[in-house]
Every structure is written in structure tokens, then in C-alpha cells.
Amino acid sequence: MNKAVIWNLLGTVATMLTMVVTVPLFLRFYGPDRYGVIATLWVVLGYFSFLDFGMGPAIINFLSKPEEGDKTYVPRIFWTGVLLNTGTGLVVGGIVILGLLLVRTETLFSNPIVARELGTTLPWLIIVFPVALVYPILVGALDARQNFGIANANQVAGSIAFQVLPLLAVIVMPATLSVAVGASVLGRLGSALALMMYASLELKVGRPRFDRAIVRKLATFGGWVALSSAASSLLETADRLVVGGVFGPASAAWYSISYNVVSRVRSLPYAVVRALFPRIAAGSQNAAQELAFSAQALLLILVPAISVAIIVVEPAFRIWIGGSAAANTVPIARIMLVGMLMNCLAHLAVVALQAGGRPARLAMVHIIELPVFLLVMWLATRAFGLVGAATIWSARLVLDGIILFIVAKLERRLLALVLLQNIVPLVSCVIMMSSLPFLERAALAMVPLAIWAVWSFLNDDKVTRSIFLSVSTLIRSKIPLRRPVS
């Protein structure tokens, strides 16, 4: 499992580093208005990913334990999912294009040039929706066989092409929305076709085939996953859609930059749960122990990492995107980081519910949360601006994590431990948003982190002690000892 986590983590880190380089270039060449529209378009695309009928997790669930003696089982599962989602993507793309043609885009954006350019991006949508819906099936098929290396390599290559090709295109083409969206879509299409070829050979699925009985089998499991994905996608993206609707594309760009950076903290828990999913689904005897160890290890790593990020985000953003842009994004990023700790731990509850065959419970939690969150988010954004939106977003993550821990019936002691340690980044955030000089704020913010470090080491926790001692041993091994000079 450790090797799988490393592969998953490396893939996400590579994507994050690409984003760090490309975002300032997008703002420079395309401008805040166009970048805000591009970010919003991909948010909408991410929301429509629920139309994959939960096929990604369903594919992992069923291919992790193939039926013995049936050589056609894997090909039927694979091709039925691919063909079903390809058709769904084409239909959805056509509906979205028709809807945008019926709506006057000039009424959606204050910038008339950007509004006109939006219409030229429509043909690309007929390609991007099938690609977006089929890709999770290809990744899920390889994850089920725990072939994380190739899947991650392809995702990294696709993500880099997705972000870099629009910037390369402006060398020979004008910086318009059509150029940006078209280059991104071609990058994603190329990576999807390459992964399709590899998955077909790896799983030996042969010629395409469609099985209606398989559709019903996948839908039984994937239906609840799809419903949960629909609600959680809207929960995840509603803040940016509300911000864009209330304040316009420029504000949506600042808010999206903060979100895109902060959300990368999920790289570690995502890498862990992606490796755990097929093991839990296959009924591994060590799955429960691995889940408990993962929770403790994530706490030990994420509490100091998030607390330090709250401190250094201000100077880092000033260097990265400039002083004026940092003034708009730093307060939002700090507030989001507070809720991110609980959200990272909630990933373990999600994988316990889905891989354990209980996706309906997860779906019901998100469906109940959705209307309340939408109302409160809209009121907070109108009343308190971007900071209000970020505060409600972060608070929702904390409450969602508490509920999911209870629903998944994970240890109450672990939930109490998470809530207690969540105070550390919260205090650091409050201090860093005060009016004191930066160095004084940074020094004060380190106090709760130091207290937490001492408490964690003295606490009777084998995981904590082993990781602390491993790190200290590694540090000592890198420092050459010198004999005293006589």
C-alpha cells in the first residue's frame, strides 16, 4: 500500500507544481476576466461529472473481485461502462450547447468581448463531456488492479497538457477563450486516448461489447454514488458559482485561485484513500488496521503542514502573483485552510462508506446538507463578500466531517482527537489575520503548533512516536558529526 500512496501523491504534487507556474501566466496573457470564465467553465464541467452514474467507484468495486471462471466478466464490465458514459457525454454536451445558444451570453458577463468569445467555445463542449465522463472509468479500471503508476503518469501528463497547451497556443494565436478551451480539451483528449489504449491491453478486454444486465448491476451500486457525487459536486462548487454570480468574473478569479491552492492539501488523503479503496472493497483483512493507521498518520502530518501554510501563505502569494492580487486572495486562503483539515480526514469516512458497500448513507448526508448550504452561502456572500463565502465554505467542511465520522461509525475517540487538533490551525489563522506586524504574528502563531508538537509526542500513541523518531533519525543521518577540535 505504501508504494501505491507514493505513486498517487507524486501524481498530485506534479499537477500542483504545474498550477503554481501556470496561474500567473494565465492572469498575464488571458487576464482576470477570461481566467475567471475559464475557471467557472471547468467548475461546471466538474459538476456534470456526476453523470458518470458513479461508474468510477463501481468499476473499482466490481473489478477488485472478478468472478472466477468467467473470462468475459472484466470485458463486459469495462466496455459497458465506457460505452454508456460516452453516449451520456455526447447527449449532455449537445444539451449544454443548445442551452447556451438559447441564452444571450451578453447578459451573463459585464465584459462584452469575453461574452462574445464564450460563444466560440461551444463546439469544444461536444468533445469535452464524453472525455470527462469516460476518464474516471479508465482510471478506476487500473486502480482496481492497483496499477497506480501508469494511471498517475497519464493523469499528470494530461493535467500538464491541460494547463500548458493554452499558454503555448498564445505564441501563435490570439489570447481568446476559444483558444484556451480548445487547447485544454485537446490535451485532455490525447491523455484519455492513450489511457484507453493501455487499459484495453492491460485488462485484455478485446472488442467493445455492451451488456444490459451489467448496466443494472453497476447502477445498483453506482446510482447512490452518482447521487452523492451530484450533491457533493454542487456543495464543492456552489461557493465559486455564487461568488461569480454576485461579484463577477474578476472576483471569481481571485476566489478560485485561493481555492485551487488550498484544495491541493487534499493530495495526501486522496493518495491514501485511492490506495485503500480496492483493498477495502476486496475485503482485505488488514483494511481496518490500515484505515486507523492512515487517520493517525494524516493528523500528524496535516496539523503542522496546514498551520505553517496559514503563516507563510502571505509572503508566498506576494512572490507568486504580486502584492495586489495577494491582498485579495490571502484572507480567503487562510480561512479555507482551517476547514481543510477536517475535510482531509473526512475522506477516510467516505472511502469506508463507499468501499464498504454503504454509498446510500453518504448520498443522504450530502442531499440534506445541500439546500441549507446554498441558502447560507448566498446570504453570507451578499452580506460579507468573499471572506463570508470562504467562512461558510470552511464551516461546512467541519460539520460535514463530523457527520460523516458518525455515519461511518468510526471511532468516537478519533473524532474527538480530530476536533481537538483542529483548534491548532484555527488559532493560527485568527492570529495571522490580526493587525500586528507579520513577524510578531508568525511568532505567536507558532505557539499553538509548538504546544501541539509536545502534546503529540508525550501522548501514548505508537504511530506518533514512530514517525517523530523516524524523522529525527533521518535528520541526524544527514548531518555529519564533527569531532571537537583539540
Domain interval for residue 376: 228-480
Considering the domain architecture, whether residues 52 and 144 belong to the same structural domain is answered as yes
At 5 the pLDDT is 59
347 within a domain of the structure (yes/no): yes
What one-letter code names the amino acid at 420?
L
Indicate the residue among 176, 210, 244 that finishes a domain: 210
At 419 the pLDDT is 76
Q: How many CA atoms lie within 13 A of 308 on its CB side?
A: 8
At 396 the pLDDT is 92
Distance CA 266, CA 77 (A): 30
Considering the domain architecture, whether residues 194 and 279 belong to the same structural domain is answered as no
At 375 the pLDDT is 92
How far apart, in Å, are the Cα atoms of 224 and each of 54, 55, 408, 428, 453?
7, 11, 16, 38, 41
At 475 the pLDDT is 41
Distance CA 88, CA 479 (A): 58
219 within a domain of the structure (yes/no): no
Asked if 111 and 249 count as a contact pair (C-beta separation under 8 A), the reply is: yes
266 within a domain of the structure (yes/no): yes
At 481 the pLDDT is 38
Asked if 65 and 281 count as a contact pair (C-beta separation under 8 A), the reply is: yes
376 within a domain of the structure (yes/no): yes
Q: With a cut of 50, which residues of the chain have pLDDT below it?
A: 467-486
Dihedral, CA atoms, 168, 171, 173, 177, nearest 10 degrees? 50
> 357 in the Ramachandran plot: left (φ > 0), alpha (ψ -120 to 50) or beta?
left
Quote the number of domains for the chain.
2
Considering the domain architecture, whether residues 139 and 288 belong to the same structural domain is answered as no
160 within a domain of the structure (yes/no): yes
Considering the domain architecture, whether residues 238 and 118 belong to the same structural domain is answered as no
At 176 the pLDDT is 84
- pLDDT, one tens digit per residue, over 374-418 is 899 999 999 898 889 999 999 999 999 889 888 887 767 667 777
What one-letter code names the amino acid at 417?
L
Considering the domain architecture, whether residues 200 and 298 belong to the same structural domain is answered as no
| Helix-, strand-, coil-residue percentages of the chain, each rounded to 5 | 85, 0, 15
At 149 the pLDDT is 76
Rg (CA), the chain: 23
Residue whose cell numbers read 470485458: 75
At 379 the pLDDT is 92
At 392 the pLDDT is 92
Asked if 277 and 351 count as a contact pair (C-beta separation under 8 A), the reply is: yes
Considering the domain architecture, whether residues 276 and 403 belong to the same structural domain is answered as yes
Considering the domain architecture, whether residues 301 and 330 belong to the same structural domain is answered as yes
Considering the domain architecture, whether residues 158 and 240 belong to the same structural domain is answered as no
299 within a domain of the structure (yes/no): yes
223 within a domain of the structure (yes/no): no
At 45 the pLDDT is 60
Indicate the residue among 181, 210, 239 that finishes a domain: 210
Distance CA 473, CA 79 (A): 50
218 within a domain of the structure (yes/no): no
At 376 the pLDDT is 92
Asked if 109 and 118 count as a contact pair (C-beta separation under 8 A), the reply is: yes
- pLDDT, one tens digit per residue, over 163-218 is 888 888 888 888 888 888 888 888 888 888 999 999 888 888 888 888 888 887 77
Q: What's the chain's length in residues?
A: 486
Considering the domain architecture, whether residues 298 and 388 belong to the same structural domain is answered as yes
Distance CA 214, CA 212 (A): 5
Indicate the residue among 210, 241, 269 that finishes a domain: 210
Cell of 244: 461569480
User: Closest by alpha carbon to 173, among 240, 236, 117, 230?
Assistant: 117
Considering the domain architecture, whether residues 202 and 301 belong to the same structural domain is answered as no
